[in-house]
Amino acid sequence: MIFLSIVLRNTGTIDFFMEKKNWQSLSITASAEAEEAVNFALNELGALGIELSTLGEKSPSTISITGYFESTIPSETVNDFLRSGLEIYQLDESAVTGAVWSKVEEQDWLAEWKKHWKPTESEKFIIAPPWEDVSDSEKIVVKIEPNMAFGTGTHETTRLCLAAIERFYSPEMSFFDVGTGTGILAICAAKLADAETKIAGCDTDRDSVTIAKENAQLNSTPQIEFFEGSITSETPNHDFVCANVTADVIVPILPLLIEKSRKVLVLSGILETQEKQVTDELNVHGMKDFEVRLDGEWIGITVRMPIPF
């Protein structure tokens, strides 16, 4: 078995994961194309960590993804979440070929995690965990302690959003991040923004909001307003709005996202196969000036809002 990565999720705090105790692991064998769907299902089931193995193959057709839990979960529940994940990613149930529970002896999870997360660079930024020294970089340094929240700068959807921010964001633009996760996109915008520019982010997960606030303090960007919830009719308009969530979340709230965006709207968390679904909705709402960029199997859509008469 070739160990590739461990991602901590849903712990609320890293200290929780450092406790010496036994865990239960759920190893799921699936086709390589089902990796994201299985990751989604394990995360929704409350996995405290996720490990990926290519089963020793350089270009695998089959992979094993293991989720770590405090206790086992009924098979019916596991099957329901796997089925839902596969449906979201438009895959047949045959993409998952097996699921096995095992008992896992105690490990130093934090040490394992630190081995496998290294700094990520974009055109203007270098995203790094707090334990990495990147002081010699000429780029803007953003330190992210993800704990259980999504957003370390390594995922394609985050990279697509960062690229859009680097290209289209200017310091005077107010910024709103829908589904902020670790707060990474709002923090990057704040690093570019003027001192008085309004920057905000929201997430429906309370722990993510807590982590985003901690990351803002870590990066000396305490002016960012993070709150629990989502975009609503009461949300103020912002010059630049970013929604890095999923297509099934974006489509229902697209009218609100358009309404609340003055100049630029960035959408990501969208699979390449879902492009038409989202772009058709943009057309329905009169949005014609947009570009689509691809990274792996994911796309990011940058919409330039029409200038009001």
Question: Looking at the structure, do residues 170 and 296 belong to the same domain, yes or no?
Answer: yes
Q: Which of 40-49, 236-245, 255-264 bottoms out in mean pLDDT, i.e. has the lowest?
A: 40-49
- What 3-state DSSP class applies to 23? strand
Cβ proximity of 76 and 50 under 8 Å = no
Using the predicted structure, report yes or no on whether residue 114 has a pLDDT greater than 80. no
In whole angstroms, what is the distance from residue 271 CA to residue 157 CA? 9
Using the predicted structure, report yes or no on whether residue 14 has a pLDDT greater than 60. no
Using the predicted structure, report yes or no on whether residue 13 has a pLDDT greater than 60. no
Note the pLDDT of residue 60: 80
Identify the DSSP state of 273.
G
Question: Looking at the structure, do residues 53 and 68 belong to the same domain, yes or no?
Answer: yes
Provide mean pLDDT across the span 81-95.
94
**Which carries the bigger pLDDT value, residue 309 or residue 49?**
49
DSSP codes, 76-102: HHHHHHHHHHHHHTT--GGGEEEEEEE
Q: What pLDDT digit, counting tens, does each position of 126-147 carry? A: 998 888 888 888 899 999 886 6
In whole angstroms, what is the distance from residue 106 CA to residue 202 CA? 35
Note the pLDDT of residue 11: 35
Q: What pLDDT digit, counting tens, does each position of 278-289 carry? A: 999 999 999 999
Question: Looking at the structure, do residues 158 and 74 belong to the same domain, yes or no?
Answer: no
Question: Looking at the structure, do residues 82 and 166 belong to the same domain, yes or no?
Answer: no
Question: Looking at the structure, do residues 174 and 276 belong to the same domain, yes or no?
Answer: yes
Average pLDDT, the chain: 86
Q: Which of 112, 131, 166 is the last residue of a domain?
A: 112
**Which carries the bigger pLDDT value, residue 56 or residue 122?**
122
Q: Which of 55, 85, 112 is the last residue of a domain?
A: 112
Does a structural domain hold residue 309? no
Total domain count for the chain?
2
Question: Looking at the structure, do residues 143 and 277 belong to the same domain, yes or no?
Answer: yes
In whole angstroms, what is the distance from residue 235 CA to residue 176 CA? 10
Distances (CA, A) of 1 to 26, 45, 111, 171, 248: 15, 24, 19, 48, 35
What percent of the chain has pLDDT above 70?
84
Cβ proximity of 198 and 265 under 8 Å = no
Closest CA to 39 of 9, 59, 60, 65: 65
Does a structural domain hold residue 67? yes
Q: What pLDDT digit, counting tens, does each position of 218-237 carry? A: 999 989 999 999 999 999 99
Question: Looking at the structure, do residues 295 and 198 belong to the same domain, yes or no?
Answer: yes
User: The domain containing residue 202 runs over which residues?
Assistant: 117-304
Q: Which residues of 227-250 are buried (b: 16+ CB within 10 A; e: fewer)?
A: eeebbeeebeebbbbbbbbbbeeb
Provide mean pLDDT across the span 239-267.
96
Using the predicted structure, report yes or no on whether residue 2 has a pLDDT greater than 60. no
CATH number reported for the structural domain that contains residue 54 in this entry:
3.30.70.260
Q: Would you tell me the crossing angle of helices 75-88 and 35-44 to the nearest 10 degrees?
A: 130
Question: Looking at the structure, do residues 207 and 283 belong to the same domain, yes or no?
Answer: yes
